[in-house]
Amino acid sequence: MARKNKEPEKKKADPSGVMDLHGSTTEQAISETLEINYMPYAMSVIVSRAIPEIDGFKPSHRKLLYTMYQMGLLNGPRTKSANIVGQTMHLNPHGDAAIYETMVRLTKGNESLLHPFVDSKGNFGKVYSRDMAYAASRYTEAKLDKFCAELFRDIDSDTVDMVDNYDATTKEPTLLPTTFPNVLVTANQGIAVGMASNICSFNLREVCLTAIARMKNPDCDLLETLPGPDFSTGGELLYDEAATREVYATGRGSFKLRAVWRYVKEGNLIEITEIPYTTATEVIMDKVAELLKSGRIKEIADMRDETDLGGLKLTIDLKRGVDPEKLMAKLFRLTPLQDSFPCNFNVLIAGMPRVMGVGEILEEWTAWRTECVRRRLYFQIKKKEERLHLLKGLERILLDIDKAIAIIRNTELEDEVVPNLMIGFGIDQVQADFVAEIRLRNINREYILRQTRTIADLEGEIAGLRRTLNSPKELQNLLIKELTQVAEKYGKPRKTRIVYDAQESSPEAEEDEVPDYPVTVFVSREGYLKKITEKSLRGSAEQKFKEGDSLAFSQESTNRAEILVFTDKFQCYKSKLSEFDDGKASALGDYLPQKLGFEPGESVVQVVLPGDYKGFVLFFFENGKAAKVPLSAYETKTNRRKLTGAYSDKSPLKTVLALTEDAQVVVFTTDGRAALFTTAQLLPKTTRSTQGVAVVTLKKKAAVERAVPLESSGLASPARYRVKTLPAAGAALKPEDLPDKQMKLDIS
């Protein structure tokens, strides 16, 4: 008997469903999934991690600094960084590595900030070095810098809200009541979900003076007191008034920075002592090495990093006769020795991210700081009123001290002392408690008179505080006074020098330095390129090639011309003939994969001289398709040397032809057929990676072999192979048109 019981079929996973605890799935719309699962994560990253708030801090910064404040490290001695990291975990649930990295950036030793918050001892790396690693937390020590007193001055006066930490075991501040616009003084960068923030640092004294000027006159010109940003790594700021005003108005834009250097005549060398904040010494060294390897810079004999305890220093040894000014102008143009700082002043205001200009940020900070001062004044008034209330109760005792003593002495029960004093003197419970707690030695007329004598002073102080609290003008004066004190006490001279008359060298200047003369370019089938002058070519016309190699094509050009090298990895490498040394017919030439830095296994398919980038490129693929792409698609304004996605990767590339105008082209197939058509039948495509259109109809196992212009095809009777519509099968080659009868020559 056959078995009827069958194993239950396994349920296939539903990609659009959500699995519950029992393993079953329910359908859920993708929009609902995003709203329920992704949006809370995105908002958490934006609000609780990546974007700074109006006090200038991200939560990770704030938690670390407040922990150090609670540990008594503002005035106490340094302690091990590992101890600080461990204590911070009470507020920050992230791992110790993330907390320590946050701390490293805030230290004096790392030099990331104009005004570091952490006084450090030990190796904390350097902001200007990519490879200089900081020491482990068990080896370093730290405490809060005295500058942090301005962060915590009013924190115990109810100036900011205190909330529970992540496990509700302690309290932490939502913001730090900074007495100056720290959001503009401390450089900050963060990447959230769908948005980012990149705030440059400004000089503390200039920021304070600008905040004061804006309070006095909201329409003041910010450039008068805040000429530009200031960076901890120094360097030079290339002043651009229009760009600066754009950043100040919108919060978006960029500032141009460049390195500071000096020429040492004795050693014929250049010393670079300050670099832009946005780069690192290793990045600069790598770029210069790349330029030396490619031959774009030939004036440098050697370059080395001599950074030590004395500070940053990159040294460049010059070849004899090199003009240091011209060399540095070229390095500024080609390397990160001149760089841009992109600005995106995105700040959380009341939990919502907003991109604001400098003026708007100062306005928001002033409003927030005014509220902090209001809360402080109200807190002080409350404390003084409480003290005044107690003293007024004590003043009642002055009327009859003996009566107070008698009430206490004649009261049988301890719990009845306070009620009896309340009845006897007409005071409330708080006042009676205060009187009852006075020590016996202090129950005398001198003590009571000394205490009550301050009643009038307290009343005057309370009245003054209330007057300030209710007067916007006096509140503003109080803020101005605090900002002035901070500027005078902690202000430092600018580190980044502003260059008002900077003249940037243009790419045309570099072109002018390169001599231009006629040359002939020879490219072999294995990828060797020779650039030979007319004089050398007249001396010997016979070209030497590696054994088994032969000429692919030759073309007359000039020394300043560009070349495009297409490879079998769907990439195009751009270079200039001036970067290749003049060669001879007897030499093999430069091996393009090595000269241009090909990837392993990558080889040359075709070399094209684009000229002025007028015309188009024809790509013929093995599957019978052809793509017509304008040469302008490969013209770049920057010095990019490698263009990925240079052509379609759907089929192997067989031939590349560069034409200035439409011409007749012959396509040969592996099964002995040919098709002749005009390129006007192909429409140009705007994208480089287009698959193109079919031009030949291929039989089974057949493929495109090559494509050449008609004049180079060697066909005896072209009319036989001409086609009117595309795609076409073409015609079988006659014996006189077979490849062994033709002269093989590809011309691009």
DSSP assignment of 523-539, as one string? EETTSEEEEEEHHHHHH
Secondary structure (3-state) at 482 = helix
Residues 6+ apart with CB under 8 A from 568: 602, 603, 605, 652, 653
The topology (CATH level 3) of 610-748 is Neuraminidase (2.120.10)
Residue 331 β-bridge partners: none
Bridge-based pairing of strands 704-709 and 79-80 is: unpaired
CATH class of domain segment(s) 373-490: mainly alpha
CATH superfamily entry for domain 57-177: Topoisomerase II, domain 5 (3.90.199.10)
Q: What angle do CA 392, 396, 400 make, to 5 degrees?
A: 155
Q: What are phi and psi of 522, to 5 degrees?
A: -120, 130
Residue 14's pLDDT is: 45
Domain coordinates in residue numbering, the chain: 57-177, 260-336, 373-490, 514-561+575-602, 610-748
How many C-beta atoms lie closer than 10 Å to residue 748's C-beta? Answer: 20
Q: Which of 516, 518, 517, 532 is nearest to 588 (CA)?
A: 532
Pick the CATH number of 260-336 from 3.30.365.10, 3.30.1360.40, 2.60.120.10, 3.40.1280.10: 3.30.1360.40
Residue 63's pLDDT is: 95
Please confirm, yes or no, whether 100 is among the known catalytic residues.
no
Distance CA 101, CA 113 (A): 14
Tell me the mean pLDDT per 10 residues along the chain, length 748. Answer: 44 48 70 79 77 93 96 94 95 89 95 95 93 93 96 93 92 95 94 88 96 94 94 94 93 94 93 95 94 86 91 93 90 93 93 93 96 95 93 83 86 88 88 85 78 87 93 94 95 94 58 74 90 81 83 87 90 87 86 87 89 89 92 76 86 89 92 91 86 90 90 85 89 79 43
| Burial call 221-253: b when 16+ CB within 10 Å, e when fewer | ebeebbbbbbbbbbbbbbbbeebbebbbeebeb
Helix (H) or strand (E) holding 183: helix 182-185
Q: Per the residue annotation, which of 41, 69, 100, 139 is the catalytic one?
A: 139
Residue 68's pLDDT is: 97
Secondary structure (3-state) at 339 = strand
How many C-beta atoms lie closer than 10 Å to residue 317's C-beta? Answer: 14
Residue 507's pLDDT is: 52
Per-residue CA distances from 202 to 104, 227, 399, 583 (Å): 21, 9, 62, 53
For tokens 């340094």, name the residue. Answer: 78
Secondary structure (3-state) at 386 = helix
Helix H, strand E, coil C: the string for 613-637 is CCCEEEEEECCCEEEEEEHHHHCCC
Distance CA 398, CA 390 (A): 13
Same fold for the domain at 260-336 and the one at 610-748? no
